[in-house]
Structure 1
Amino acid sequence: MTFENVKEFLESEAGKASEVTAYLQGLNPLTVARVQEYIDKTPEGKSWVDSVRDKHLQKGLETWKTNNLESLLNDEIKKRFPQKDEKELEVEKLRAEIEKMKHEKQRESLTNKAIKIATEKSLPIELVDFFIGADEQTTVSNVKVFEDTFSQYVQKTVEQRLKGDGYVPPKDNDGKQGNLESLSMEEYIKARSK
């Protein structure tokens, strides 16, 4: 019998019988060493083992996340942002109120200072709220800027009035300026209406 005859027999129905297959597998049994050799020496073996490892790793990671991750996150959050008890919350609330009172007191003091300066310099007191700054120096500076601007405005307005529609006393018959004190009320009204 030749190798070709044996090959034909194995490929036939009779050769595929369980007895023949069992005999052939007994000649070359499947062992761990043979599987390891297949994995190490063939790209198909390496690829197959990597895919099996990935499946198991992914499943293990999902199980770990389900069992442990939430508790670890909660522990870390508590460690970084500890819960405040009622006493700490009350202390924070009191501190905020004290800061608010200090701010109001400072604002009141600055308002009084601005009113005092505005009164001394004859500035409109109604505008004092616009002068108040973060501190006394800023408030005084704001009042000074307002004073300068306000006085310049008043000066320009006065100059415009004097240039434009100012009163010119009437002239005497000889062409000289008349004296207002010497005019009667009727003469003053006539002179003014001209």
Structure 2
Amino acid sequence: MSLERLREIVEQNKENKEIQDYIKGLNPITPDGVSAYLESEGGKKLLQPKLDSTVTKAIETWKANNLSKHVEEEIGKRFPGETEEQKKIRELTQQFETLKQEKTRESLTNIAIKEMTAKGLPIELADYLIANDEDTTKANLTKLEQVWQTAIAAAVESKFKDNGRDPHKSKEGYQGVNPWKKETYNLTMQAKLLKEDPTLAQSLKAQSK
């Protein structure tokens, strides 16, 4: 007998108690049977989403009902005997420190962006250079500038070499100052020369060493 034929018989006799009892007896629902099914791959796939949802809901409920209490208990341990007035002062102090840090970072970010724009550095990197104070932030800017200039010079030199030209060959007739020399160091002029005459720029840079 085919499976399809068996289904037809079951459907035709779904009101027949004797047949239905017989079918149930083929696969009785028992605690062991349920346990075995839940441990199978099919059972796990059915049960896991429900468990995840239940656990997540339980955690959220616990946090809503207990987290504030635990935070207060921990604060009480760190600040024993704290009066209500002292608590308010501490909270205001913390808020002030947070606001101060935000203002400091905003100020340092503006400084960094201003200097990076002037030096032709990518301002997208500003967030990575901001430190806890202005001196460290500027030191980070200087490091980036050095790395950036070295990378540009290497790229220009590589391009000229690929074209069969010597980037260190001096351009005849140049009477201007060398912006790479210590006494005439000028970032703006460096950028201009690198853009307008890379060959001359590389030559002047080599001469300054």
Give the TM-score range, shorter chain: 0.3 to 0.5
In our comparison, the structure showing a higher alpha carbon Rg is 1
Could you tell me the TM-score, scaled by structure 1's length?
A: 0.43
Could you tell me the TM-score, scaled by structure 2's length?
A: 0.40
